[in-house]
């Protein structure tokens, strides 16, 4: 009587290679949840606010979204890399204050103040990165400390320089009109005024993508 020889074990299919339906793949994408949330908010305000569906209202919503969205582009890239920056929001205020204070106090063209602001904010970002690498602390902790320091510095330095907690007006300074056209002008689209920040937002999203 011969003994049966066992064959090689049957191959177990790799579940990673299994086919998924398009709907299942869509549901697995993290941005799908954000899309559902946006749709829910849109439907809610469409029902409770009569003026929400008007073109001017969309322009206002887009402008408000763009001011947060521009900052969110950089933060999103960090989050994709597994890190976070809590100081990004207060750094926006720091950038504006540095540009205004430098231009006004030193009697500079406003574009020079913008350049100084860019250098300062890039240096703060580099400092965050250096502290993160050298100390080994989580980016959450490093940027939380930066957040508190900048929040205090924004108030303290502005108070010490101007005597109050707001920067002096730079509307009558050289370079203001051209800077306003680049950063704060309106674009007419079909009779609706759309802030140029919306187009900056779309540009940064396209670059980051």
Q: What is the 3-state secondary structure (H, E, C) of 100-161?
A: HHHHHHCCCCHHHHHHHHHHHHHHHHHHHHHHHHHHCCCHHHHHHHHHHHHHHHHHHHHHHH
- The tens digit of pLDDT for each residue in 32-56 reads 888 888 899 989 988 988 888 888 8
Domain total in the chain: 1
Domain contains 63: yes
Give strand pairing partners of 195: 186
Lowest-pLDDT range, 3-17, 19-33, 55-69, 168-182? 3-17
Lowest-pLDDT range, 17-31, 149-163, 193-207? 17-31
How crowded is the C-beta side of 110, counted as CA atoms within 13 Å?
19
Domain contains 139: yes
- The tens digit of pLDDT for each residue in 73-103 reads 999 999 988 998 999 999 999 999 999 999 9
Domain contains 18: no
Domain housing 182: 55-208
Q: What is the pTM of this model?
A: 0.77
What percent of the chain stands above pLDDT 90?
Answer: 62
Domain contains 12: no
**DSSP secondary structure code for residue 6 in this structure:** P
Domain contains 92: yes
């Amino acid at each position: 009587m011969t003994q049966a020889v066992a064959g090689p074990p049957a191959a177990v299919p790799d579940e990673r290679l299994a086919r998924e339906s398009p709907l299942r793949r869509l549901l697995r994408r993290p941005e799908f949840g954000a899309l559902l949330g946006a749709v829910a908010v849109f439907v809610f305000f469409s029902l409770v606010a009569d003026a929400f569906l008007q073109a001017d209202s969309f322009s206002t919503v887009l402008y408000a979204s763009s001011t947060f969205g521009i900052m969110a582009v950089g933060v999103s890239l960090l989050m994709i890399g597994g890190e976070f920056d809590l100081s990004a929001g207060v750094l926006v205020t720091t950038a504006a204050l540095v540009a205004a204070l430098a231009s006004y106090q030193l009697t500079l063209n406003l574009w020079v103040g913008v350049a100084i602001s860019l250098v300062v904010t890039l240096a703060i970002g580099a400092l965050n990165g250096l502290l993160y690498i050298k100390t080994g602390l989580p980016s959450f902790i490093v940027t939380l400390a930066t957040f508190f320091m900048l929040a205090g510095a924004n108030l303290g330095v502005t108070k010490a320089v101007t005597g109050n907690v707001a920067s002096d007006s730079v509307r009558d300074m050289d370079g203001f009109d051209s800077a306003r056209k680049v950063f704060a002008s309106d674009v007419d689209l079909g009779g609706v005024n759309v802030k140029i920040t919306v187009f900056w937002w779309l540009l940064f999203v396209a670059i980051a993508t």
